[in-house]
């Protein structure tokens, strides 16, 4: 029943022209901005923080910003992202000592909350906190880098997550992240996802000088 949302991951954007890149994918029909935060500790890579989120808001970006925290610890950075204009804040349960508290903190900060499941992380983390979650994000690659291959076992996990969400009757989005391409997105949709992160598939498209280079790939998704 949920509408489908396309969430370009700016991890694969040209960071030197980030505001322009984000405006281009939104103009091309993208729905939300996927914002990957890596700390060189929880994952072996280092990216962007609240300052960059705030800069996008100051640049005039009004679309929802979907902050995917790949950081440890989690709680300290939540209020900063809320103040910086985050819409969703999602985190990996293994990275928080108190998952329930972190979820509550996100909502108390005025944002929508979400849990992120690595390929080997069981969905059982949801069992007692379902009512505190606005988004379930399944990783279909191991987190840390763009451009990896979709792990096929995620399709079964998506079906399980879809069942859990439907049984709960709660308006929880089901997001998929990693290796999503034009040629596998139908299959992923059929397995139950309604929110699709795509980094390299979108930002890798077309030539730099073409302002409409993202139109066809986003239209095909």
**Span from 93-101, 142-150, 155-163, 166-174 in contact with ligand DX5 (CB under 6 A):** 142-150
Residue 49 is assigned to a ligand binding site: no
Active site residue 177: yes
Check: CB of residue 25 under 8 Å from CB of residue 35: no
Q: For residue 34, state whether it binds ligand DX5 (rule: CB under 6 A).
A: yes
Residue selected from 6, 12, 21, 218 as contacting ligand DX5 according to rule CB under 6 A = 12
Residue 199 is assigned to a ligand binding site: yes
Under rule CB under 5 A, which residues in 134-193 are in contact with Zn ion?
A: 177
CB of 66 to Zn ion, least distance (A): 8
Active site residue 210: no
Taking alpha carbons only, the member of 47, 44, 68, 64 closest to residue 56 is: 64
Residue in 31, 36, 39, 66 annotated catalytic = 36
CB of 1 to ligand DX5, least distance (A): 25
CB of 81 to Zn ion, least distance (A): 14
Site string for Zn ion, 6-45 (x = CB under 5 A): ------------------------------x---------
DSSP per-residue string spanning the chain: -PPPEEEEBGGGS-GGGHHHHHHHHHHTT---EEEEEEBSSSSS-B---HHHHHHHHHTT--S-EEEEEE-SS-GGGHHHHHHTT-SEEEE-GGG-S-HHHHHHHHHHTT-EEEEEE-TT--GGGGTTTGGG-SEEEEESS-TT-SSPPP-TTHHHHHHHHHHHHHHHT---EEEEESS--TTTHHHHHHTT--EEEESHHHHTSS-TT-TTTTHHHHHT-
> Which residue number, 39 or 177, has a Cβ lying nearer to Zn ion?
177
Residue selected from 49, 50, 179, 192 as contacting ligand DX5 according to rule CB under 6 A = 179
Site string for ligand DX5, 147-166 (x = CB under 6 A): xx------------------
Q: For residue 192, state whether it binds ligand DX5 (rule: CB under 6 A).
A: no
Burial of 97 (0-12, 13-18, 19+ CB in 10 A): exposed
> Which residue number, 23 or 200, has a Cβ lying nearer to ligand DX5?
200
Q: For residue 93, state whether it binds ligand DX5 (rule: CB under 6 A).
A: no
């Amino acid at each position: 029943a949920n509408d489908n949302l396309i969430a370009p991951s700016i991890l694969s954007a040209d960071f030197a022209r980030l505001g322009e890149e984000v405006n281009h994918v939104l103009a091309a029909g993208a729905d939300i901005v996927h914002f990957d935060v890596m700390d060189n500790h929880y994952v072996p890579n280092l990216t962007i923080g609240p300052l960059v989120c705030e800069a996008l808001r100051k640049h005039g970006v009004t679309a929802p910003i979907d902050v995917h925290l790949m950081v440890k610890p989690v709680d300290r950075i939540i209020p900063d992202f809320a103040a910086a204009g985050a819409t969703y804040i999602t985190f990996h349960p293994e990275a928080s000592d108190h998952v329930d508290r972190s979820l509550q903190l996100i909502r108390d900060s005025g944002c929508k909350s979400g849990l992120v499941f690595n390929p080997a992380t069981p969905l059982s983390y949801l069992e007692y906190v379902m009512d505190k979650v606005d988004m379930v994000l399944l990783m279909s690659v191991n987190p840390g880098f763009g451009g990896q291959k979709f792990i096929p076992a995620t399709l079964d996990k998506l079906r399980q997550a879809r069942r859990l969400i439907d049984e709960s009757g709660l308006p929880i989005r089901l997001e998929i992240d990693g290796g999503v391409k034009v040629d596998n997105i139908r299959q992923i949709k059929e397995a139950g996802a309604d929110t699709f992160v795509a980094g390299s598939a979108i930002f890798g498209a077309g030539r730099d000088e073409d302002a409409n280079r993202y139109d066809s790939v986003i239209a095909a998704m």
